[in-house]
Structure 1
Amino acid sequence: MVPERWRHHLDYLVTILGGSIGSGSLIKFPYLCMRNGGGVFLIPFLFFTVMGAIPCVFLEMVIGQYSQSGPVNVWNFCPPFKGIGLGIALVNWIFVSYYLAIFSWFMYYFYHSFFSNLPWTSCGHSWNTPGCIDGIDSSGWNYTSTNDTQLMSSLDTNMTNVTLTVPTMTAAEEFWRFQALQVTHGLEDLGVVRWPLVGCMAPICVIMFLFVFRGIRISGKVVYVTVAVPILLVIVFIVQGSLLPGSAAGIYFFVNPNFEKLLNPKMWIEACSSSLFSLNIGLGNILTMSGHNRKTNNCLRDALLVSIVDVLFIILAGFSFFATIGHVAHQRGVPVDAFRSSGFNLAFIAYPQVLSYLPLPQVWSVLTFLTLMTLEVDTLLPAVEVILAAIEDTFQGARKRRWVIICLILLTNFLFALLCVTQGGVYLVTLTDWYAFFPAIAVFGMLECVLVSWCYGLERLKQDIDAMWGKAVPRVMMLSIKYVCPLLLLAIFCSSVYSHRPPKYGDYIYPAWAAGVGWMISSVSIVPLPMVFVWTVLNTRGTTLKQKLRVSLQPNNQWRRHALSDTANCHALQPMQLVQSGECGPDDLEQETN
């Protein structure tokens, strides 16, 4: 069946870009720069983007476009590994589920940004405690603990010093914990559902259903808005932020490299991971969206364009962040590098505090959370498309009941997300985010490079490329796919395993059983890989297990039909070539997989 086509090629590029930039560009990247010496982090980041990220993006575009299918059937070139496509779909399902909760938090703050007095800037509200601190406390930038204490009074009675202390939090932290979340004491007590957050979450589910149901011809137009708005607002932040007193110090911290940090191996690992996964390598977005291209499309041009624009946006987001931080640091009399918040603390505590010190704070707060919401939509829509494409690949006839499938996907996502918007939902979101992508994404990306390079063969890949748009690919690109990319992904995997530690949120230490639940979440996306591998090999024609394995690793009939359609008028593909060169392949190519 011919897949749905993009109305315009720009729709495809903007969709890929929207899925790549995400809210992490405004939350995670500035934190990594701050922790790793500012501008020096850009050096390894750009290095790994060129050496690893661009080749991986190019590879996913090529095999997705050539297969003209979704994340499951793209593995027709090596059928035993179709479980990777199912695993990718499960990762995306988990991702959509808990990101719906995060979207509801953004919308909740967006709604409260219209109040004449921003509720996170002052104490005296019903949710505030006696230890609430108005505004920003200069000692409270590093949110590594939520139970800091402040000396309230010291009395000298009968020659005995008595010190009284009470827990203190800033007004922004108390709004986040006691009003937005109404947080419980731990994962053991999820509490009740926060219905205001459910009300923030429900509309986006309805909107996603309408966009995905109408297909890429509609969703491909929506991303023009959801991508253009964040880019324009980030530019506005840069221009306005640069005009504020003290912004130069923040920008200088961002562009001035501390070369001593280059001696830290951890920074290189973080830069490698950030560069590869900022472009959604291994998540199936690029594979699935490229399947809707015409086969004559130039993937090399697209990979370079998307990667360059993604890097430019991340750098622009860094400038906007550090310009604003420089101004606030100037006002408070603290150094720029005192800002070390990350994750939820950065998005829902540090950002609101910083925005409250800008002129017209309501305007800046509205723009900031509008940007974060649109970036969330950019990442959620392709993820739902990946899940839908995987189901359509697996079950024949699913396209005839497309609207039913989309309803079931979003309904199950919404039901799981209800757990994430309970009073203790932030603990579940943290646990899920901690394990959802580890180690699946690194494993999937590594296998993708290895199977195409070493099993399918680069010579065959070059012939496929020549059959599609007829231009040679630089040799360095092929060498990166074969050697550099797998090694980088292997390094990320090994580093993740070595540095892995139990999850933690603030001062809350997760119980041992929670780690078990986390590993179950992690293994869900890995389990289909060995199961499908064994099932495919055992059901392949052959008299011995070795023969079954050799035959199963060859492209199946569906993939060969693509090859035949491309070589009807020329002999571009030569199936015996890899057998003659000694790479994996059966002795008799007439034996086919089921």
Structure 2
Amino acid sequence: MDAKHATRTADQNSDAIDSRNDAQVDLLRGTEKYHDSRSALEGTTRHMGVAWFKENYHENALHDTPTSLEQLAEDVSSSAVLTRLDDDGGDDVMERGNWSGRFDFLMSLLGYSVGLGNVWRFPYLAYSNGGGAFLFPFIIMLLLIGTPLMFMELAFGQFASLGPAAIFDRFCPLFHGLGIAMVCVSSLVAVYYTVIIAWTILYLIASFAVQLPWETCEPDWKTRFCFPFREANSCMKINGSLFYNQTCYNATMVARENIADLVKNISRHAPAQDYFERHILNISSGIEHIGNIRWQVVLCLLCAWTLTFLSLSKGVKSTGKVVYFTALFPYVVLCILFVRGVTLPGSVDGVLFYLTPEFHKLKSAKVWKEAAVQIFFSLSPAWGGLITLASYNKFHNNCFKDALIVSIGNICTSIFAGFVIFSIIGYLANELNMPVDKVVDQGAGLAFIVYPDVVTRLPIAPLWSFLFFFMLLTLGMGSEFALLETIMTGIQDLYPVLRQRKTWVVLTVSIMGFLSGLVVCTDGGMYVLQLMDSYAASWAVFLMAIIECILIGWVHGAQEFIIEIELMIGQQGRSFHKYFTLFWKYISPGTLTLLMVFNWIQYTPLEYGDYVYPVWANAIGWVMALLPLMMIVIIALYRICSMHTELPLKERLQELLKCTSAWGPNNKIQKEEEEENRNRTIENPNFNVGNPQETRI
């Protein structure tokens, strides 16, 4: 008994000693990293790579009796870029958090990029800019500015593991305000974006009914142009009868009252339009008539901010799981609606209108500007969201592939959503006996008029209505999560102590966002929303993107930045270097500059339908557009006046344009090793190196 016990104890001690001697290996995206278990047992922190190995062991020892650790070092792949473990960076990384997996980030990025804009903004822009003609500048802008800038920002945030508010402080102190400006833009957009989500929730609640409230023209909100198709179809099945002014007239009354001529000249629209404009919004005559707060919308706005708070208060790991559903479910509903839409009579006319280009409209800079703005609404470069989401990535995540996947997926979703909505517009034009371009007034309410109307033509209409608006809710929340995460990451990066109080930060931001959105919940709120939508993320974002390209492409150096990217995704070919250097230094900023100038030249006061905004309203819009830029200027002046004051102004500016000593991978790779990786290689007889440039330390 004692002998067996002694044998068992000896085996356990032997296993413990072996476990201490064995190095632990972590293989991550082709990069092999290891650390010594003995260091952990001894209470020391010894991050080990090949450089550490050479410094701590004499070369002759490599050929003596090899330990398990030495044998492991000999087996390391020669092509690996050897860095520290991503989780070896200390408490800062643990406090900040990371995505649980690569697909969490990809789904979050897809949910951020594919949002309400693909459903209600892109079809609206195509509708108001000549249908198919808009596809040409949209795709061109995607190639010229969308994908290059998206990849640039993903790599930028992933390399430094910081959000926009803190990353520019290290990258270029003079333009620290650029990151603050990005957070400012995301804040302005989040205010009215959440109100749109509130409308969605209100429609979602209304879908829990046997009959949808917008199927008929209710006396409380109908206008004389309201045309309920079900009642009209039932009426016209009777020989000689006509439906006019919500009344069915038999053949005798039609002949006596001359109803046939009246029907030909009357304007008609679906009940869903009156329901949205008069029941949901109770829209006033103009922005100068703000009116009363719509309490139904306010309650739904409170619900939207509550959902945002509950989702974000747990951090990016829990958010990454939710977006699997919010990013993928909308495609299921879009496919169902597409099948139903193309089988409706008249849908071909709508699709043809969508595809038929009016190339004369391409002469207008407004069309190109709108296409570029839509790229910013879709892929969202210069908003700060891309930098924020990428900052939670593992260091060796291939952000280049992610940028390509999301760019292609985004444009395909936008185009596909256009097919869905224009097939429905064609059907409505056929039903109402009107031209396709006259069916619905232009505006952000397109998705809240056309889509609700088409679900009334489907069997089990409340079910389809619920699915559709639940899809809108998931689309909106996916983008809203990223907008709010940008704001909160900026706050927590600037004040790291608040990371321990993330719940309170989320609660404070949510309360402030809710209070700011109350003005958009009034009778004149639709005019406020259009004002914010037109100015908050327009030419000012172009200028911010131009500054970002200049800082990365010229001040820091495009080649230098590509070398930093290669530390993450591996060595790239010469064409990769030339392509992105060309775009980041010349093509992307040049395109944005031309668009911004054309936008200024062809500027006209804002309009919504037949309503022209007053001068003071446009002035408020300009203040919103200039607010982010004022952040850049004010912080730059403060830095000039407070830093390096002992130097002449020229030298002071030169110092402020340089990266600080803190710039680099944040707790993912030692600064010394990063510099050595750029400039030198080593030779080790125990490594099989085909090309000495492949192993860089």
**One fold, TM greater than 0.5?**
yes
Of residues 66, 69, 72, the one that matches 2:165 is 72
State the distance in 2 between where 1:313 and 1:515 align: 33
Alignment partner of 1:499 is 2:602: yes
The residue identity in structure 2 corresponding to 1:251 is V
Equivalent AA in structure 2 for residue 549 of structure 1: L
Partner of 1:558: 662
Aligned to 1:223: 323
Q: Select 1:125's aligned residue among 219, 236, 246.
A: 219
Mapped to 2, the partners of 1:168 and 1:569 lie a distance apart of: 68
2:132 equivalent in structure 1: 39
Structure-2 residue corresponding to 1:183: 283
Matched, 1:549 2:653: yes
For 1:377-419, what per-residue CA distance to the aligned partner results, in whole angstroms no more than 9, with x for missing partners? 1111001100001111222412122111111111000011122
How much does 1:484 deviate? 0.9
Residue aligning to 2:506: 406
Residue 9 in structure 1 maps to residue 102 in structure 2: yes
3-state DSSP of counterpart to 1:217: helix
* Shift, 1:330, TM fit: 3.6
Q: Aligned partner of 1:530: which letter? A: V
Give the alignment of 1:312-351 within 5 angstroms: 312-339=412-439, 341-351=441-451
SS in 2 for 1:526: helix
- Listed as ranges, the matches of 1:149-548 within 5 Å are 171-257=271-357, 266-339=366-439, 341-472=441-572, 474=576, 475-541=578-644, 542-548=646-652
Match of 2:58 in 1: none
1:56 aligns with 2:143: no
Work out whether residues 605 and 618 of structure 2, in 8 Å CA contact, stay in contact via their aligned partners in 1: yes
**CA deviation map 1:466-506 (0-9, x unaligned):** 22222216121221111111012212322332233333333
| Alignment correspondent of 2:32 | none
Q: Which amino acid is the alignment partner of residue 385 of structure 1?
A: E
Counterpart residue number, 2:191: 97
1:284 Cα deviation after fit: 0.7
Asked if the contact 2:428/2:439 (under 8 Å) is kept, the reply is no
Give 5+ residue unaligned stretches, structure 2: 1-91, 231-244, 248-264, 680-697
Q: Number of matched residues?
A: 549
1:110 and 2:204 matched: yes
Give the superposition deviation at 1:218: 0.6
- Following the alignment from structure 2 to structure 1, what is the Cα–Cα distance between the partners of residues 423 and 328? 21
Displacement of 1:211 in angstroms is: 1.4
CA displacement, residues 270-315 of structure 1 (integer Å, 9 cap, x when unaligned) = 3333334420111111101111111112221111111111111112
Gap change, CA 1:42 and 1:556, over 3 Å in 2 = same
* 2:538 aligned counterpart, secondary structure: coil
Q: Distance in 2 between matches of 1:407 and 1:86?
A: 20
1:572 matched to which residue of 2? 677
- Runs (4 or more) in structure 1 with deviation over 6 Å come to 165-169
Secondary structure of the equivalent of 2:310?
Answer: helix
| Deviating more after overlay: 70-79 vs 552-561 | 552-561
State the partner residue of 1:155. none
Farther-moved stretch of structure 1 (449-458 vs 342-351): 342-351
Rate the CA distance shift 1:448–1:196 in 2: closer, same or farther, 3 A: same
Q: AA paired with 1:27?
A: W
Change beyond 3 A, Cα 1:326–1:427: closer
Q: More deviation in 93-102 or 267-276?
A: 267-276
TM-score, scaled to structure 2:
0.73
- Give the counterpart letter for 2:161 in structure 1: Q
Q: Which residue of 1 aligns with 2:256?
A: none
Report the counterpart of residue 158 of structure 1 in structure 2.
none
- Most deviating of 490-499 and 281-290: 490-499
| Cα shift at 1:269 | 3.7
Does the C-alpha gap of structure 1 residues 326 and 285 become closer, same or farther in structure 2, counting only changes over 3 Å? same
| Percent pairwise identity | 32
Report SS of the residue matched to 2:629.
Answer: coil
Contact residue 293 and residue 523 of structure 2 kept, 8 A: yes
CA, structure 1 residues 242+215, in 2 after alignment: closer, same or farther (shift >3 Å)? Answer: same
- How far 1:256 sits from its partner (Å)? 4.8
Q: AA paired with 2:150?
A: V
- Provide closer, same or farther for how the CA distance between residues 54 and 216 of structure 1 changes in structure 2, counting only shifts above 3 A: same
**Distance in 1, Cα, partners of 2:273 & 2:424:** 20
Give the greater-gyration-radius structure (CA). 2
**1:212–1:385 contact (8 Å) kept in structure 2:** yes
- RMSD (Å), alpha carbons: 2.8
State the match for 1:20 in structure 2. 113
Return closer, same or farther for 1:69/1:464 CA change in 2, 3 Å cut-off: same
Contact 2:664 2:671 in 1 (8 A): no
Instruction: Tell me how far apart the structure 2 counterparts of residues 254 and 506 of structure 1 sit (CA, whole Å).
Output: 21
Aligned residues of 1:52 and 1:276 also touching (Cα < 8 A):
no
AA in 1 matched with 2:219: H
CA distance in 2: counterparts of 1:503 and 1:120, whole angstroms: 30
Is 1:85 matched with 2:179? yes
Aligned mates of 2:382, 2:674 — CA distance in 1: 34
* CA deviation vs aligned residue, 1:26-50 (integer Å, no higher than 9, x gap): 1222233334443343333223222
In the alignment, what sits opposite 1:147? none
The Cα of 1:168 is off from its aligned counterpart by 8.6
- 3-state SS in 1 of match to 2:394: coil
Contact kept, 8 Å, 1:328 with 1:357, in 2: the verdict is no
More moved, 414-423 vs 348-357: 348-357
